[in-house]
């Protein structure tokens, strides 16, 4: 089995909580400046993006979860282990990729990754085997015998990822894995992160201040600001908050104006948009008359319920648009959804 491959049985388990914090707080200095402030979150399997500007508390949270930093108050667990008194056990089960360069320049990459495997409890032979395997997976097989002091930034980031994966972790924490990379190398790193979380079923907590990266690879998003939780939800629900709909109609007279006024009269917020009509994000109450879970069907998970509510609201919106165009005897050319961006939601959430 490859270093990070999970058994099919484990890969099928859904919505497993891997990290949980309750009122987690960390304060520094005599002024008791909060780095984390009453933070309560739950991280499940899949890829979770931890979003926040520099100083938001992302790195502090990871250090506390790894048992490298003691909280001022509150509690947390990682893979079912309480962080208090279980730091070594957690660190053996977690693969951690730090943000800053921590690679010894005068050491060969293969030797470093083997060493990190040994530090995590692997015997010598399995450590060498897994190191070779994981370096192949991250694209450093041909460069594994080089001294890391001569590595490019992209190669160093891959080496850091390899040492996080060598011991076949149950959870991976990646702190700014694309830091300093050019666009091509960034895409390659994101593809690796996606593969770890989705193809091999290892839960991933990944931090980044480049919000567009997280919307490409994450299943869930946790937004921090000043050490406090702003939002935590499925990425698709997060993005739906800024999703708009574009409508194009044809007909006699000022078709666009007539359609816009009629939609506004039906309770929709809309405006002209370059010859089209742009309708603001819809809310789940538009789907109130669509019914709930089919009789006899299983109750969906929380994330599924959010997605189903959003889908039903968009379906209801399309029906309203179609009915309104028919009432006005206008031709409906298109109804096109515009997906929001994490930057838009984050900008709205963070206080000025």
Helices (H), ranges, the chain? 8-12, 58-65, 87-93, 109-119, 124-137, 153-165, 183-194, 211-217, 235-240, 255-265, 302-327, 342-349
Instruction: Say yes or no to pLDDT of 291 above 70.
Output: no
- Global pTM value: 0.73
pLDDT tens digits, one per residue of 14-72? 568 999 999 999 998 877 888 999 999 999 999 999 988 777 899 999 999 999 999 99
210 falls in which pLDDT band (50, 70, 90)? confident
Identify the residue with better confidence: 6 or 209.
209
Q: Which pLDDT belongs to residue 12?
A: 41
259 falls in which pLDDT band (50, 70, 90)? very high
> Taking all residues of the chain, what is their mean pLDDT, rounded to a whole number?
84
Cα 19 from Cα 41, distance rounded (Å): 8
Q: Which pLDDT belongs to residue 293?
A: 42
| Residue percentage of the chain with pLDDT more than 90 | 57
Residue 21: phi and psi, rounded to 5, are: -125, 150
Q: Which pLDDT belongs to residue 151?
A: 97
Cα 64 from Cα 112, distance rounded (Å): 25
CB atoms within 10 A of CB 245: 22
> Which stretch of DSSP H or E encloses residue 279?
strand 276-279
The mean pLDDT value for 119-141 works out to 96
The mean pLDDT value for 294-312 works out to 52
Least confident of 149-158, 269-278, 323-332: 269-278
Q: Which residues pair with 70 in a beta bridge?
A: none
Question: What is 45-88 written as a DSSP string?
Answer: SSEEEEE--TTSSHHHHHHHHTTSS--SEEEEEETTEESTT-HH
Instruction: Say yes or no to pLDDT of 283 above 70.
Output: no
The correct answer on CATH 3.10.129.10 for the domain covering 8-239 is: no
Do the first three CATH levels of 8-239 and 243-340 match, i.e. the same topology?
Answer: no
The mean pLDDT value for 148-164 works out to 97
243-340 CATH pick, 2.40.160, 3.30.70, 3.40.1350, 2.60.40: 3.30.70
Q: Which pLDDT belongs to residue 203?
A: 97
Q: Which pLDDT belongs to residue 15?
A: 67
Instruction: Say yes or no to pLDDT of 194 above 60.
Output: yes
Q: Which pLDDT belongs to residue 343?
A: 61
Q: Where are the domains of the chain?
A: 8-239, 243-340
292 falls in which pLDDT band (50, 70, 90)? very low
The mean pLDDT value for 199-211 works out to 88
Q: Which pLDDT belongs to residue 241?
A: 64
Least confident of 47-56, 78-87, 156-165: 47-56
337 falls in which pLDDT band (50, 70, 90)? confident
């Amino acid at each position: 089995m490859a270093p990070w491959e999970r058994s099919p049985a484990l890969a099928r388990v859904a919505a497993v909580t891997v990290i949980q914090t309750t009122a987690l707080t960390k304060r520094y200095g005599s002024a008791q400046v909060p780095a984390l402030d009453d933070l309560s979150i739950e991280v499940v399997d899949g890829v979770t993006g931890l979003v926040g500007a520099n100083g938001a508390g992302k790195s502090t949270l990871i250090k506390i979860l790894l048992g490298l930093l003691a909280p001022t108050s509150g509690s947390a667990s990682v893979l079912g282990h309480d962080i208090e008194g279980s730091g070594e056990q957690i660190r053996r089960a977690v693969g951690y990729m730090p943000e800053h360069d921590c690679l010894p320049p005068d050491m060969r990459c293969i030797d470093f990754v083997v060493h990190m495997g040994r530090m995590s409890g692997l015997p010598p032979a399995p450590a060498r085997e897994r190191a070779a395997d994981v370096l192949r997976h991250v694209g450093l097989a041909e460069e594994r015998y080089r001294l890391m002091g001569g590595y490019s930034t992209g190669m160093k980031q891959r080496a850091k990822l390899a040492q996080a994966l060598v011991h076949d972790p149950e959870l991976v924490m990646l702190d700014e894995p694309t830091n300093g990379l050019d666009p091509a190398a960034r895409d390659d790193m994101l593809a690796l992160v996606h593969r770890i979380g989705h193809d091999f079923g290892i839960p991933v907590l990944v931090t980044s201040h480049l919000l567009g990266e997280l919307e490409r690879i994450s299943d869930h998003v946790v937004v921090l600001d000043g050490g406090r939780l702003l939002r935590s939800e499925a990425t698709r629900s997060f993005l739906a908050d800024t999703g708009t709909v574009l409508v194009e109609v044809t007909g006699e007279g000022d078709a666009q104006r007539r359609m816009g006024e009629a939609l506004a009269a039906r309770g929709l917020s809309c405006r002209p948009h370059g010859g089209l009509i742009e309708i603001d994000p819809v809310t789940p109450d538009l789907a109130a008359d669509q019914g709930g879970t089919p009789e006899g069907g299983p109750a969906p998970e929380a994330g599924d319920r959010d997605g189903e509510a959003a889908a039903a609201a968009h379906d209801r919106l399309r029906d309203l648009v179609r009915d309104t165009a028919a009432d006005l005897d206008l031709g409906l050319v298109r109804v096109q959804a515009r997906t929001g961006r994490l930057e838009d939601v984050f900008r709205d959430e963070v206080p000025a």
